[in-house]
Amino acid sequence: MSSRGRHQSTSKECRTLIRRIEALEGVIAVIIGMSYGGKSLGKGTTTGSIRIQREVSGGLKAVTQSSKGLQELYIRTEAGAEDRISETLREWQ
């Protein structure tokens, strides 16, 4: 399923990350949200890093570090798969 949302441009590393997330079992889609230029996930993070913000109805809210700032992501998941997917993404950090 293709990524879609209000803002679809993101860095090459983030597009690679999104494809990896979409390939996880239990992920229905990854929807790209707003981007915030000049922001950072913090020291030691690189372009393509991801941080899970919270679990929401039907999935997970996350942010990824793009080459120009932060990019919001909504990860749509199958029911009950949120914890497993969240744990997998934390291992990638």
pTM of the full structure? 0.82
The tens digit of pLDDT for each residue in 5-60 reads 444 556 788 888 899 999 999 999 999 888 887 766 666 677 778 889 999 989 99
DSSP 3-state assignment of 16? helix
The pLDDT of residue 93 is: 73
Residue 1 has pLDDT above 50, yes or no: no
Instruction: Please say whether the beta carbons of 64 and 75 come within 8 A.
Output: no
Q: What's the pLDDT at 87?
A: 93
20 phi and psi, to 5 degrees? -65, -40
**What is the residue extent of each domain of the chain?**
12-91
Question: Which residues touch 19 (CB under 8 Å, ≥6 apart)?
Answer: none
